[in-house]
């Protein structure tokens, strides 16, 4: 059996199950595991379409469901109508997830998310919203880390998806305190897509900061570049950045747009 016994038990227990499918590796793997354990007609996938969700993630979720003949619902979670979310406070993620899980709970099923053990060691206000809405965390119940999830993805035949870099929502690229604007999110998504096509499937971020725009690349990739190559990266991004916007380039630093109090 591809699915570990503890995860199998967590996935088979609910009488009904909807997976919150972001399009990232955790929720994709959870969806594949749930389909194997419960059967493809006994699990529903639900993907929230939003300016904060990369277009590639939405396309990935849709292709995944088609390839496996799984039921996929798309919804608007409504976070952009929430003034608290748009203000981008330190706990912005709480308001995002509160809207998402509130919308999913109306579907009537038990809702599960792809949270793994590693996520519990990070500052994730969204987990509070998950608890308030009774969201299940099967990977946590099965004591699975991110590495465990990737290993399971390979066993389940997810191929290259198993190597997807972590990719939080686009709003995480906007510095805390700057209002979340759809236009900025569209720039971020366009820049990252262009750079990913040029550089491959590497960790990268386009950030909207108080001081301007910032491109961050995987440290090993960044440090191996010549000044000329770094200039080429900036040139690729520059014409997508709003006029007169300052733009810089540096090595990736996790959570650098997040201001801690």
Positions marked catalytic: 169
DSSP three-state, residue 112: strand
Per the CB < 8 A criterion, the answer to whether 32 and 158 are in contact is yes
Q: How many residues does the chain have?
A: 261
- Do 94 and 84 touch, CB atoms closer than 8 A? no
Rounded Cα distance, 117 and 141, in Å = 9
Q: Please identify which residue in the block is written with the tokens 């206000």.
A: 125
DSSP 3-state assignment of 249? strand
- Report the distance separating Cα 136 and Cα 114, nearest Å: 9
């Amino acid at each position: 059996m591809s699915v570990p016994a503890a995860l199998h038990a967590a996935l088979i227990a609910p009488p009904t199950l909807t997976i919150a499918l972001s399009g990232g590796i955790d929720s994709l793997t959870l969806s594949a595991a749930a389909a194997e354990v419960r059967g493809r007609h006994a699990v529903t996938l639900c993907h929230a379409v939003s300016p904060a969700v990369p277009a590639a993630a939405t396309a990935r979720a849709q292709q995944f469901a088609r390839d496996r003949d799984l039921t996929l619902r798309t919804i608007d979670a409504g976070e952009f109508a929430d003034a608290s979310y748009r203000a981008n406070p330190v706990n912005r993620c709480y308001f995002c997830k509160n809207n998402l899980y509130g919308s999913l709970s109306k579907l009537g099923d038990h809702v599960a998310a792809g949270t793994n053990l590693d996520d519990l060691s990070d500052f994730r206000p969204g987990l509070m919203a998950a608890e308030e809405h009774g969201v299940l965390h099967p990977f946590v119940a099965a004591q699975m880390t991110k590495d465990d999830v990737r290993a399971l993805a390979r066993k389940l035949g997810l191929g290259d998806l198993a190597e997807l870099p972590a990719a939080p929502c686009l709003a995480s690229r906007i510095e805390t305190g700057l209002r979340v604007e759809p236009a900025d999110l569209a720039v971020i998504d366009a820049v990252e897509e262009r750079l990913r096509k040029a550089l491959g499937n590497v960790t990268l971020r386009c950030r909207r900061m108080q001081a301007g725009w910032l491109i961050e690349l995987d440290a090993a990739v960044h440090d191996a570049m010549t000044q000329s190559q770094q200039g080429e990266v900036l040139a690729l991004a520059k014409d997508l950045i709003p006029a007169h916007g300052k733009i810089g380039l540096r090595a990736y630093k996790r959570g650098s747009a997040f201001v801690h109090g």
